[in-house]
Amino acid sequence: MPELLTLENVWAGYGDAVVLEDISLTLGEGDSLSLLGRNGMGKTTLFSTLMGAARHRSGAIRFAGRDLTRVPAHARAHSGLGWVPQERDIFPSLTVEENLTVVATRGPWTLQRVYEMFPRLKERRGNMGNQLSGGEQQMLAMGRALMLNPRLLLLDEPMEGLAPLIVQELMTIIQRLTEDSGMAIILVEQHARQILPLTRQALVLERGKAVYRGDSETLLNDRALLDGWLGVVAH
């Protein structure tokens, strides 16, 4: 598949602090990646680096053939990057529909298509953002990112703190996105066994360094690696 995102020997962090060390990865058009690691290992910093919110110190970042380091932070969403942060950052005083349409750009992801993917949002389209449950807010944050019609969608722990039934619903939606949307997706989640079956590739960070970069299925089937790097108890 054609190359979409490439990181070569990237170092990044905040201020004088270095968080990411010598990170390299390649993601093709429509490809999917599980970004894994214990808390504080640099996963969110990698997303922040892609979006221009962290300090890029050295190394190359190319997106769709363009040097991303030269793209201002405020313009990266319009270059084809969609980010759903842990905080969700929806607009609490806007309705569901206003949250979706305020950022909309032309492309295959229309309001109707988002409502088809998230029927709950259609049911609550007149509700204010602060009138939604945590799961509904997460769906809204994802739907809003899709309305930007990104080529690459970054999902930062989308299932965190949600009820099991909502988690299952979101996992089904993410699986549909990875299989049928044509978008590339990078997914951060603490529960490796939940998300590895949803993606083709995996990258594991340990203290800001890549300790595994390869096939998701291979990592899923290696109980020693999962337990050693991620603290996953194999059953």
Please give the pLDDT value at position 130.
94
pLDDT digits (tens, 9 = 90+) for 97-152: 999 999 899 999 999 999 999 999 999 999 999 999 999 999 999 999 999 999 99
pTM score of the predicted model: 0.93
Note whether 76 and 170 are same-domain residues.
yes
What the block records as the tokens of 45 is 């910093």
When pLDDT is averaged across residues 47-52 and rounded to a whole number, the result is 96
Give the pLDDT band (50/70/90) at residue 80: very high
Retrieve residue 155's tokens. 């999902």
Residue with the bigger pLDDT between 195 and 1: it is 195
Q: What is the pLDDT of residue 78?
A: 87
- Do residues 69 and 11 both lie within one domain? yes
Instruction: Please tell me whether residues 188 and 95 are part of one structural domain.
Output: no
**164, 233: one domain:** yes
Residues 164-180, buried b or exposed e (16+ Cβ, 10 A)? eebbebbbebbeebbee
Indicate if 22 and 75 belong to the same structural domain.
yes
* In a shared domain, residues 144 and 210: no
- Give yes or no: residues 162 and 185 share one domain: yes
- The answer to whether residues 174 and 111 belong to one domain is no
What confidence score (pLDDT) does residue 32 get? 97
User: In terms of residue numbers, what domain contains 189?
Assistant: 1-80+153-235
What CATH number is associated with residue 173? 3.40.50.300
Q: What total of structural domains would you count in the chain?
A: 2
Residue 48 has pLDDT above 90, yes or no: yes
| Shared-domain flag, residues 169 and 145 | no
- Return the number of other C-beta atoms located less than 10 Å from residue 138's C-beta: 27
| 203: its two tokens | 């990258």
* Tens-digit pLDDT profile for residues 207-233: 999 999 999 999 999 988 888 878 754
Q: CB of 202 within 8 A of CB of 219?
A: yes
Position 235 confidence tier, pLDDT thresholds 50, 70, 90 = very low
Q: Are 75 and 91 within one domain?
A: no
Instruction: Give, in order, the Cα–Cα distances in Å from 182 to each of 1, 108, 145.
Output: 11, 10, 15
Pick from 121, 149, 177: which residue ends a domain?
A: 149
Does residue 223 sit in the same domain as residue 137?
no
Query: Distance of CA 32 to CAs 108, 154, 187, 189, 194, Å?
Result: 19, 10, 8, 13, 14
Query: Is residue 166 located within the same domain as residue 144?
Result: no
